[in-house]
Chain A
Amino acid sequence: MEWETVIGLEIHAQLATKSKIFSAAATEYGAAPNTQACAIDLGLPGVLPVLNAEAVNMATKFGLAVGANVAKRSVFARKNYFYPDLPKGYQISQFELPIVERGETEVELDGDTKVIGITRAHLEEDAGKSLHEDFSGMSGIDLNRAGTPLLEIVSEPDMRSAKEAIAYMKKIHSIVRYLEICDGNMQEGSFRCDANVSVRPKGQKEFGTRAELKNLNSFRFVERAINFEVDRQIDLIESGGTVLQETRLYDADKGETRPMRSKEEANDYRYFPDPDLLPVILDDTFIESIRATLPELPDEKKHRFIKDYELSTYDAGVLTSSRELAHYYEALVKGVGSNPKLCANWMMGDLAASLNKNNLDINDSPVTADILAGMLKRIEDKTISGKIAKQVFEALWAGEGDADAIIEAKGLKQVTDSGAIEAVVDDIISNNPKQVEDYRGGKDKLFGFFVGQVMKATKGKANPAQVNELLKKKL
């Protein structure tokens, strides 16, 4: 039987506010345990939450960026359950009336564009962390994270493969980073995701029973976990079993999903509106004032790149996948003043490779857009060839100065004096009579040999076009 996979994602984006969603404690990552938890975060008797306005601004930005309805009235509710890292015994979240509803975003996969629906996005507070190791039979509780603002972004079950799910997740990642509402750091847990996965026979309308996969803290894990889960469900059904609706944890070491103890999910959360917080009322003036602060978003930027720089859809997609890359690219094009395609090729080629190899972000590149532009200009004015430029780039990466200095110091300037090139060509022809004879006898392939010899003799600096021309003439 042919199976179809159905996937919906719940993404938790940690909002980049300075303080927590309901207290003034700092949200900075990595502080010593329990040093960033104030009386409110600890849930001490008598404390009350006060909503951080910046979190509302950020959620509104997101809603507008995905074309969603930003609710004029949203309500915080309490989700009640007991866990040691949940200090109040309830999480403040939004339930019936979230701040963002009904948005969508486009993803691109193998040249096809697909629209993924966003059901809702709501504000909530994060819990603390339970640390079960290193406490000799006890558990440690770190409440630094308790009260950190999260935007939970819930998609429609619109994705049909792990690849689509990743493309969607990357798109949301890109949007929240463009909006500067989330640092997107997955290692630190600022951007994480749960996946609802089910399978159904191809052509069937009803959804199959879904499993919720948790603990997916990298793009790679999301893909692996989904693929594992899809195979597991298909095997199960084909061998006569039934899929249970359950929460499953992804174990990255073993590359498998396994059920969480059913006790942990047998919860009736007893949601009700939080009486300590007033409903969030937003008016058009506010919403429009936030709209006015929206930056150019990835899709708009991509279309502009295609139009203005005549880039392929693929290149434009890559170069606009993050705001920083796009910014670098535009600075580079401006610095060179021509040939945007050349700029794109260098960024996606040698620069990207070097960044990857050294595990560096574009912002940390030792070769800035200005420096790289200095070199590309020399390709454009034919001072160096593309091949020589690779040498120059390596020197730039190593910090040996700017392109002109390196070209000068290493004597890499392209030889365009046709007299000089002709002399070398003549030399090569007279020193290789056997090859000349063979070439003239019809061995066309030997032409490359002569080019190579000339380039070798000139240490690669001869203008390749001139070399070709002269050789053709003389042979």
Chain B
Amino acid sequence: MHNKTLAELSQALRNGECSSLELTQHFLTRIQQHNPTLNCCVSITEEQALEQAKAADQRIQAGTAEALTGIPLIHKDIFCTQGIKTSCGSKMLDNFIAPYNATVVEKLNAAGMVTLGKANMDEFAMGSSNETSYYGPVKNPWDTDRVPGGSSGGSAAAVAARLAPVATGTDTGGSIRQPAALCGITGLKPTYGRVSRYGMIAFASSLDQGGPMTRTAEDAALLLNSMAGFDPRDSTCMDQAVPDYTASLNKDLSGLKIGLPKEYFSHGLSAEMGAALETAIDELKKQGAEVKDISLPNTHLAVPAYYVVAPAECSSNLSRFDGVRFGYRCEAPTDLEDLYKRSRGEGFGAEVKRRIMIGAYALSAGYYDAYYLKAQQLRHLISDDFKQAFTEVDVILGPTSPTPAFNIGEKADDPVTMYLSDIYTIAVNLAGLPGMSIPAGQINGLPVGLQLIGNYFDESRLLNIAHRYQQATTWHQQTPPAFA
């Protein structure tokens, strides 16, 4: 049952082959069984899941079910869930029960989905390996000595290990795509403004975007159909109609122009990774796509710009965690300053503190122009690169991550090396474009991700290409042997 995709399960539910309750119980059992190994869930919401499943079964019987009704999922613990702990992977929010639902949660609840639990993640989404979580690292289902990627590592590991058919994730600099690549699943970061950020705990507001993490492009389309759309509670959410993302999945690829940025295929990309991408490109060509070499000349500026903008925004966004109204408060503060210093000093982990300090420094008087303003200018240059590229091609293709999953602890003490693991994903967030990672091979038994970057609001095209590719290949069907 757990090897079926969301689309297949949806069919099975409506055909009466199984009930949502059975499905839910099955996945809950798998979570109980495997979570101790993987550590991918920080909360398991069994009671609520069973209630939601029963309600979904009634809807199915009443004939009012939608495609997602009765399908279990796991939410990244960055989405506020009413009455359920929402920790954001931090000691700071270990005691925080959200009093409201994020818009994404509300929409998926309304569609009849069943929440199995909340996924582990890097603390406040700051990390590329899931090692910064207060709840300990998540293990990669393909090799439990390795990281699942981050920050949506719990969501990626859970979907890869078949502990849930689908999961939600968020992506600020690659946090959906990189773990999807490292765990061998499909992950889509939509255009900035496509999915509401309301109730999604902010890391870097101008970069954060929620999206689906699934096994197939078809499932991503189904999930995005319900996640996307205007939300009057988010001023940065675009008031633009949501197409049916499943409608164009099967569209013919002939005549499609794919751009291959030379900066993504040069030094730093291993021969094996290059070979895997070549094979995938050949498959797309076989289906009628044309490839073109392009250049994104400011690619090298993306990581430096990102590590000013994102920490600057985070330093301000995380100021609300002060021990006054909610979250962690230190024991017996002697005065206000002590309350602030110790609550924040004890409540945040090292990586979060590092970024708050970098960000506060970049915004401080006398440095603002040199750092924050400069980074915003670089951001324009990076966006202009893409604008130029999309006058020549329909979609851009490259690697998602420079390497497959690395070992737990391997990069933990070297933040710069860690930051470089997002080198291919970060520019997409700076430009606000949609990006997608799909499994496209393996190196030494570890999945390799292929990244597709689209023009603004061109998610349909990304899903179409990914779906066509998945119809012709089986990489997305590979299951980590221990979780088959």
Answer whether residue B25 sits at the interface, using C-beta atoms and an 8 A cutoff: no
> Which A12-57 residues have C-beta < 8 A from chain B?
39, 42-51
Contact call B233/A80, Cβ cutoff below 8 A: no
B-side contacts of A87, CB under 8 Å? 320, 324-325
**Binary interface profile of A, 243-281, with partner B (CB < 8 Å = 1, else 0)?**
000000000000000000000000010111001111000
Answer whether residue A413 sits at the interface, using C-beta atoms and an 8 A cutoff: no
Contact call A50/B232, Cβ cutoff below 8 A: yes
Q: How far is the CA of A80 from the CA of B315 in the complex (A)?
A: 9
Answer whether residue B16 sits at the interface, using C-beta atoms and an 8 A cutoff: no
A-side contacts of B201, CB under 8 Å? 45-46
Contact call B235/A88, Cβ cutoff below 8 A: no
B-side contacts of A276, CB under 8 Å? 202, 205, 235-236
CB distance from B307 to the nearest CB of A (A): 16
Contact call B316/A78, Cβ cutoff below 8 A: yes
User: Which of the residues B235, B313, B318 comes within 8 Å of A277, measured between beta carbons?
Assistant: B235
Contact call B363/A270, Cβ cutoff below 8 A: yes
Answer whether residue A82 sits at the interface, using C-beta atoms and an 8 A cutoff: yes
Answer whether residue A439 sits at the interface, using C-beta atoms and an 8 A cutoff: no
Q: How far is the CA of A276 from the CA of B208 in the complex (A)?
A: 11
> Which A43-102 residues have C-beta < 8 A from chain B?
43-51, 78, 80, 82, 84, 87-90
A50 and B319 in contact, given A42-B325, A44-B326 (Cβ under 8 angstroms): no
Contact call A48/B197, Cβ cutoff below 8 A: yes
User: Which of the residues A39, A43, A48 comes within 8 Å of B99, measured between beta carbons?
Assistant: A39
Answer whether residue B483 sits at the interface, using C-beta atoms and an 8 A cutoff: no
A272 and B325 in contact, given A48-B235, A278-B235 (Cβ under 8 angstroms): no
* Cβ-closest chain A residue relative to B373: A272
A46 and B365 in contact, given A272-B372, A276-B205, A278-B236 (Cβ under 8 angstroms): no
**Binary interface profile of B, 429-465, with partner A (CB < 8 Å = 1, else 0)?**
0000000000000000000000000000000000000
Answer whether residue B303 sits at the interface, using C-beta atoms and an 8 A cutoff: no
User: Which of the residues B93, B205, B368 comes within 8 Å of A275, measured between beta carbons?
Assistant: B205
Contact call B312/A89, Cβ cutoff below 8 A: no
CB distance from A87 to the nearest CB of B (A): 6
Answer whether residue B96 sits at the interface, using C-beta atoms and an 8 A cutoff: yes
Answer whether residue A141 sits at the interface, using C-beta atoms and an 8 A cutoff: yes
Contact call B234/A43, Cβ cutoff below 8 A: no
B-side contacts of A272, CB under 8 Å? 312, 316, 363, 368, 372
A89 and B316 in contact, given A45-B86, A46-B202 (Cβ under 8 angstroms): yes
Contact call B200/A270, Cβ cutoff below 8 A: no
User: Which of the residues A39, A44, A45, A90 comes within 8 Å of B316, measured between beta carbons?
Assistant: A90
Q: How far is the CA of A435 from the CA of B336 in the complex (A)?
A: 86
User: Which of the residues B100, B340, B364 comes within 8 Å of A82, measured between beta carbons?
Assistant: B340
Contact call A46/B80, Cβ cutoff below 8 A: yes
B-side contacts of A277, CB under 8 Å? 235
* Cβ-closest chain B residue relative to A81: B319
Contact call B316/A46, Cβ cutoff below 8 A: no
Answer whether residue B478 sits at the interface, using C-beta atoms and an 8 A cutoff: no
Most chain-A CB neighbours within 10 Å: which of B235, B315, B363, B365? Answer: B235
> Which B289-318 residues have C-beta < 8 A from chain A?
312-313, 315-316, 318
Q: How far is the CA of A78 from the CA of B324 in the complex (A)?
A: 20
A-side contacts of B202, CB under 8 Å? 45-46, 276
Contact call A89/B322, Cβ cutoff below 8 A: yes
A-side contacts of B205, CB under 8 Å? 275-276
CB distance from A35 to the nearest CB of B (A): 15
Q: How far is the CA of A236 from the CA of B234 in the complex (A)?
A: 53
Answer whether residue B88 sits at the interface, using C-beta atoms and an 8 A cutoff: yes
A-side contacts of B340, CB under 8 Å? 82
**Binary interface profile of A, 422-456, with partner B (CB < 8 Å = 1, else 0)?**
00000000000000000000000000000000000
Most chain-B CB neighbours within 10 Å: which of A43, A51, A275? Answer: A275
Q: How far is the CA of A84 from the CA of B322 in the complex (A)?
A: 8
CB distance from A470 to the nearest CB of B (A): 82
A-side contacts of B7, CB under 8 Å? none
CB distance from B451 to the nearest CB of A (A): 25
* Cβ-closest chain A residue relative to B197: A48
Answer whether residue B360 sits at the interface, using C-beta atoms and an 8 A cutoff: yes
B-side contacts of A89, CB under 8 Å? 316, 318-320, 322
Q: How far is the CA of A43 from the CA of B318 in the complex (A)?
A: 11
A80 and B319 in contact, given A46-B80, A87-B325, A275-B206 (Cβ under 8 angstroms): yes
User: Which of the residues B99, B206, B372 comes within 8 Å of A44, measured between beta carbons?
Assistant: B99
Q: How far is the CA of A39 from the CA of B197 in the complex (A)?
A: 15
Answer whether residue B198 sits at the interface, using C-beta atoms and an 8 A cutoff: yes
Answer whether residue B56 sits at the interface, using C-beta atoms and an 8 A cutoff: no
Q: How far is the CA of A48 from the CA of B200 in the complex (A)?
A: 9
Answer whether residue B102 sits at the interface, using C-beta atoms and an 8 A cutoff: yes
**Binary interface profile of B, 209-244, with partner A (CB < 8 Å = 1, else 0)?**
000000000000000000000001111100000000
Contact call A141/B319, Cβ cutoff below 8 A: no
CB distance from B478 to the nearest CB of A (A): 35
Answer whether residue B148 sits at the interface, using C-beta atoms and an 8 A cutoff: no
Contact call B319/A88, Cβ cutoff below 8 A: yes
Contact call B100/A39, Cβ cutoff below 8 A: yes
B-side contacts of A84, CB under 8 Å? 322, 324, 336
Contact call A49/B235, Cβ cutoff below 8 A: yes
B-side contacts of A275, CB under 8 Å? 204-206, 236, 313
CB distance from B315 to the nearest CB of A (A): 8
Across the A-B interface, the 7 shortest Cβ-Cβ residue pairs: A89-B319, A275-B206, A270-B363, A275-B205, A46-B199, A43-B320, A45-B201
Query: Which residues of B are at the interface with A, using a C-beta cutoff of 8 A?
Result: 79-80, 86, 88, 93, 96, 98-100, 102, 197-202, 204-206, 232-236, 312-313, 315-316, 318-322, 324-326, 336, 340, 360, 363-365, 368, 372
> Could you jot down 25 A-B contacts, CB within 8 Å?
A39-B99, A42-B325, A43-B320, A44-B99, A45-B80, A45-B201, A45-B326, A46-B86, A46-B198, A46-B202, A47-B198, A48-B235, A80-B315, A82-B319, A84-B324, A87-B324, A87-B325, A89-B318, A90-B316, A90-B319, A268-B365, A271-B363, A272-B312, A272-B316, A278-B236
Q: A46-B79, A89-B319 are in contact. List 19 more A-B contacts (CB 8 A).
A: A43-B320, A44-B80, A44-B100, A45-B86, A45-B96, A46-B200, A47-B198, A48-B197, A48-B233, A48-B234, A48-B235, A82-B322, A89-B318, A270-B315, A270-B316, A270-B364, A271-B368, A278-B235, A278-B236
Query: Which residues of A are at the interface with B, using a C-beta cutoff of 8 A?
Result: 39, 42-51, 78, 80, 82, 84, 87-90, 141, 268, 270-272, 275-278
